[in-house]
Amino acid sequence: MLLIPAIDLQDGRCVRLRQGDLDDATVFSDDPGAMAAQWLDQGARRLHLVDLNGAVSGKPVNQAAIKSILAAVDEEIPVQIGGGIRDLNTIEAYLDQGLSYVIIGTAAVKNPGFLRDACSAFPGQIIVGLDARDGKIATDGWSKLSRHDVLDIAKKFEDYGCESIIYTDIGRDGMLSGVNIEATVALSRHVSIPIIASGGVANLKDIEALCEVEHEGIEGVILGRSLYEGTLDFAEAQNFADEYDA
């Protein structure tokens, strides 16, 4: 099980939101590069970045912070990014910078043709971010709830050739209320590509619960507030997951 620390970027700083609310942000660091180095030192094998300003504006905003993170990591581990990615030029620029994976969320739902083109142009490097509440897809920084069923959309996007799917239960994100194991497993059983869980991880019990269903096709989990508020120790959690897999 791959445990992936999240670095959410807003105005050049590392923050965490509650349920995606940009007005409910907690600042955890003014130095994104140092934060990335911290997770690398603790044994992280991948980092998850979100350009929160970009998610609203529809174009990259936190470029300086992203550059500092990539410099700190120095290609030792893969880094993935999401937020405001709406065109192939943006994807190409990110990959040229040294990012390993690009996450397409809202644009994938609103413009499936763009996702298809992206998967074709950059095979193995496109991850789809599906954010849902009660089984329905949310878009535009979670501000809008669509009529699209998450299972149907996931199946369609799998056929396009996306590398994996990040599934976030937005009702739990940033709330430390526990992972929605049932919905995550239901999604992983519906498709054959890997699922990365997201939203609600509070402590080691959540990691254990995910390890128990890893065989269903859940390859990893994104960790945010639990790490920054200290309810989960990253190194301890990754060691636990590794021993569980052994």
Report residue 167 as tokens. 């599934």
Report residue 104 as tokens. 């397409």
Q: Which DSSP helix (H) or strand (E) runs through 196? A: strand 195-198
Q: Torsions phi, psi of 26, nearest 5? A: -110, 125
Distance CA 27, CA 16 (A): 7
Catalytic positions are 8, 131
Amino acid at the residue 53: N
How large is the C-alpha radius of gyration of the chain?
A: 16
- Three-state DSSP class for residue 118: helix
